Structure 1
């Protein structure tokens, strides 16, 4: 009996080993993947009954609230979604950054030369670079980082970023890349919608303008579904729809003016806003510490080495010496000649990712996705391993684990 059990166990291990060594290419091509970002898509926006197409995909697929990485800003989180690494590890530590290895250069959205420079992105490898290395065609529509040559490669097809492109145009332009023979089509496509984020910033998350933007994005999703059906691709495409962060309403009575707090000449300001970074000016270290590291009514400041562990932030060279985080709705206002202030009626993100209003959402739908799955809130580093699994690509080392989203998979 014991010998029989050993024989059966050995046979099982042999079969398991044989299955594990079957190359992915021998299992047939993966289903096409479309990864969609809705910038500023707060998790509870789905409760407004304004997005029937998104609701259909959620009801017939998998969905759940998703926690952004710190800081809950656009560039850091979009790069986390496609690398599985937290900002402190992939190097896009903010929307605005400086690096001593690039003296005199400030990375920010308006600096096209910096945004398209692979230097800023090379601490990680987004899925489209791995895909190209493994022989897969990927097309990206406006995704942050996709215009840069990262580790020597760009996506097979990409579009230079244009702001305020209507969602329907984003879909039609992205799907136009499918108008080639099947062997040449992208196996993965990314789309990016900015309207919901813009409306939230300008008018606040509860404004009718946000509702209008949600309806516009949902109509574009409906068009995408119809287009896939028309092309005979429905049932052959996995859709992964994500946000990068949520949104909260401004509280202008809590805004913090740096000019009222700090004398000029004792600090170097890197970013300001919901999160602000300060580097020392030689000879003024103790003075800056004394002012910033004491308790404040509407923000908390830490030396980079003492940022709370839950944020997984503070080791990268681009993280400033002191990081200040505003309370939700507050804003750390940079000194300016024209006394610029954020819109009092508007909204912001960038705050503590554990705040409910910073949560965003994931919807997964398609032939490889189980229907009816409702997930507990999870960290967005899990999206990358899911993408790599669905595309049958070898993943890079990351902070995410496929086990987090295994419940959404049919197999």
Structure 2
């Protein structure tokens, strides 16, 4: 994911909303009369629900495990639940992170790309480097993320960086949140989460997100095969170990779900596609780049100019928005460009070659290199189970089960892939 501007001050205290509502009283079994008419003493209070922590390791492929760099993640995979996921199209950061917490594919949740336009917002360009635009709630309000749903249900939530979590969506933020700061280290992120969980019950979150971005960044900026990427993998694994050790010291029961948003593919130096060869600059303009390119006709130009680009080319394919493959579940949202071009795996839309073998993503979600990680452990999960590959829209329904939210209506996913690995079956599913 591209680097966002540095924010000079973290709003750890100032960014939080006012104090959360009081904790709900413990649930007790109703008293029952005995044959003699005496009333037995009240049953013990039901313990509060384990905290659910959702961890994202951006750009982490499942096959990064088991190579000696990830002992803590390997241990979770062996003792807990493991599997891989198909990301949603397009297989890039913001759309998939929003899918993971809404249960809606990008075409329905509104975050259709890392860079996008909206006919209803003429002149506005959503791009990761412009926080003034990305913090406009209008871009995000097409769907409701889990931290908002949890807050509405009286369940306190806390987000340690997650796309969309540092602005009000549908008028609400999580109780605890931080403005994204790329220089906030992985260790600092873990320490903050642990501090949240040391709080007394009334101020302790029931749902937490934790985001690590260094594995993705190093693959993009230093190279797919760069030692910096291996170092980032090792560091994130060490922080997962620190998180688990801290949780054990606190003694809080936690259901830990670890995911990634997409995989990563090597892009050799010479494997570039010049966008000008597909979209002549005199009559068209492009949006995006890398594996995925959006094309628009220039103002005043007949839209039929795009017809020349439709179809299969040497290393890519272009579709009219309304003719995208049905398996992409993409193209009905007006934010999708009128023409969408997708490069073959390992190729990239760029006007000049890279200086090294870059890592990139955004390719066909069914390509094995785009597979995303899934691991889970905690009191809700059985031990030593492996899942068949599933779509990442299924994660949000699982999280709703863990958090204690009712089934979502009209979601694109389901909790069915997880029923055999949960110790207690969800009700009313």
Q: Extract unaligned runs of 5+ from structure 1.
A: 1-25, 335-339
Aligned-partner SS, 1:209: helix
Q: Work out whether residues 250 and 347 of structure 1, in 8 Å CA contact, stay in contact via their aligned partners in 2.
A: yes
Q: Could you report, residue by residue, the CA deviation over 1:298-354 in whole angstroms, capped at 9, with x for unpaired residues?
A: 1100001111111111111100100000111111126xxxxx654532110000011
Distance in 2 of aligned mates of 1:307 and 1:323:
8
Q: Work out whether residues 164 and 194 of structure 1, in 8 Å CA contact, stay in contact via their aligned partners in 2.
A: no
Aligned-partner SS, 1:271: strand
Distance in 1 of aligned mates of 2:318 and 2:59:
25
Distance in 2 of aligned mates of 1:117 and 1:300:
33
Runs of 4+ deviating beyond 6 Å: none
1:163 to 178, 182, 185: 182
Is 2:283 the partner of 1:266?
A: yes
**Matching residue of 2:75:** 56
Distance in 1 of aligned mates of 2:186 and 2:206:
21
Is 2:303 the partner of 1:285?
A: yes
**Matching residue of 2:54:** 35
Q: Could you report, residue by residue, the CA deviation over 1:14-61 in whole angstroms, capped at 9, with x for unpaired residues?
A: xxxxxxxxxxxx975321011100000011101322111111111111
Distance in 2 of aligned mates of 1:165 and 1:318:
32
Aligned-partner SS, 1:63: strand
**Matching residue of 2:323:** 306
In the TM superposition, residue 285 of structure 1 has moved relative to its aligned partner by 2.5
Aligned-partner SS, 1:98: coil
Q: Work out whether residues 326 and 332 of structure 1, in 8 Å CA contact, stay in contact via their aligned partners in 2.
A: yes
Aligned-partner SS, 1:210: helix
Q: Work out whether residues 204 and 248 of structure 1, in 8 Å CA contact, stay in contact via their aligned partners in 2.
A: no
* Compared CA separation, residues 49 and 407, structure 1 to 2 (3 A): farther
Distance in 1 of aligned mates of 2:404 and 2:305:
54
Q: Work out whether residues 95 and 113 of structure 2, in 8 Å CA contact, stay in contact via their aligned partners in 1.
A: yes
**Matching residue of 1:209:** 228
Q: Could you report, residue by residue, the CA deviation over 1:64-108 in whole angstroms, capped at 9, with x for unpaired residues?
A: 011111000000000000011100110100000100111111111
Is 2:378 the partner of 1:360?
A: no
Distance in 2 of aligned mates of 1:203 and 1:156:
36
Is 2:388 the partner of 1:371?
A: no
* Compared CA separation, residues 27 and 303, structure 1 to 2 (3 A): farther
In the TM superposition, residue 230 of structure 1 has moved relative to its aligned partner by 1.3
Distance in 2 of aligned mates of 1:76 and 1:350:
10
Q: Work out whether residues 36 and 240 of structure 1, in 8 Å CA contact, stay in contact via their aligned partners in 2.
A: yes
* Compared CA separation, residues 243 and 343, structure 1 to 2 (3 A): farther
More helix by share: 1
In the TM superposition, residue 254 of structure 1 has moved relative to its aligned partner by 2.4
Distance in 2 of aligned mates of 1:243 and 1:35:
10
Distance in 2 of aligned mates of 1:122 and 1:343:
39
Distance in 1 of aligned mates of 2:85 and 2:213:
18
**Matching residue of 2:363:** 351
Is 2:120 the partner of 1:107?
A: no
CA RMSD of aligned residues (A): 1.6
- Spell out the pairing of 1:217-236 with structure 2 (5 A cutoff): 217-233=236-252, 236=253
* Compared CA separation, residues 390 and 216, structure 1 to 2 (3 A): same
TM-score by length of 1: 0.88
Distance in 2 of aligned mates of 1:294 and 1:389:
43
Number of residues of Structure 1 aligned to a counterpart in Structure 2: 378
Q: Work out whether residues 269 and 353 of structure 2, in 8 Å CA contact, stay in contact via their aligned partners in 1.
A: no
**Matching residue of 1:15:** none
